[in-house]
Structure 1
Amino acid sequence: MENRVAHLEKRIRGNLERLGFELHSFKVEWYNAVLPSAFHLPYSENTLAFVVLSIPAMFDKAFKPFLKNQLLEKIHDPVDQCVFHHLSLVRENLADLRVNIMYDYEMLPNRKPRFLAQTAAHVSGAAYYYQRKDVQQDPWGEKKIYGVCIHPCYGGWFAIRALLIFPDVEAPFLQQNLPVDCVRTEGEKIELLDKFNFHWQDWSYRDIIEVKEKYSEEQKMYFATPPAERLKLLGLQGGLKRNTMY
Structure 2
Amino acid sequence: MPRAAGGMEGRVAERLRGALGPLGFEVHAFKVGWYNAILQPGFHLPYSDDTLAFVVLSTPSMFDKALKPFVNKERLKIIRDPVDQCVSHHLSRVKEKFPDQKVDVIFDYEILPSRKPKFLAQTAAHVAGAAYYYQRKDVKLDPWEKKKIYGVCIHPKYGGWFAIRGLLLFPDIQDGRYRDIIEVKERYSEEQKAYFATPPAERFQLLGLTQEAQRGTFH
TM-score range relative to shorter protein: 0.7 to 0.9
Matched, 1:62 2:62: no
Q: Helix, strand or coil for the counterpart of 1:81?
A: helix
Conservation of the 8 A alpha-carbon contact between 2:136 and 2:149? yes
Q: Helix, strand or coil for the counterpart of 2:96?
A: helix
- Residue 87 of structure 1 is matched in structure 2 by 91
Q: Please, which runs of 5 or more residues in structure 1 have no aligned partner? A: 178-246
Amino acid at match of 1:26: F
Paired residues, what number?
176
Q: CA deviation at 1:74?
A: 4.3
- Residue 99 of structure 1 is matched in structure 2 by 103
Give 1:37-56 correspondences, 5 Å limit: 37-56=41-60
Q: Helix, strand or coil for the counterpart of 2:75?
A: coil
What is the TM-score normalised by the length of structure 2? 0.78
Matched, 1:123 2:127: yes
Conservation of the 8 A alpha-carbon contact between 2:78 and 2:85? no
Amino acid at match of 1:88: S
Q: Please, which runs of 5 or more residues in structure 2 have no aligned partner? A: 182-219
Give the one of 73, 76, 81 matched to 1:72: 76
Q: CA deviation at 1:4?
A: 1.7
Q: CA deviation at 1:174?
A: 2.7
- Once the two structures are superposed, what CA deviation does each residue of 1:86-130 show, in whole Å capped at 9, x if it has no partner? 011101121211011000000100000000000000000000001
Give the one of 97, 114, 130 matched to 2:118: 114
- Which shifted more, 66-75 or 56-65? 66-75
- Residue 161 of structure 2 is matched in structure 1 by 157
Amino acid at match of 1:148: V
Change (3 A) 1:61 1:73: closer
Over the aligned positions, Cα root-mean-square deviation in angstroms equals 1.5
Q: CA deviation at 1:58?
A: 0.3
Matched, 1:32 2:36: yes
Q: Which has the larger radius of gyration?
A: 2
What is the TM-score normalised by the length of structure 1? 0.69
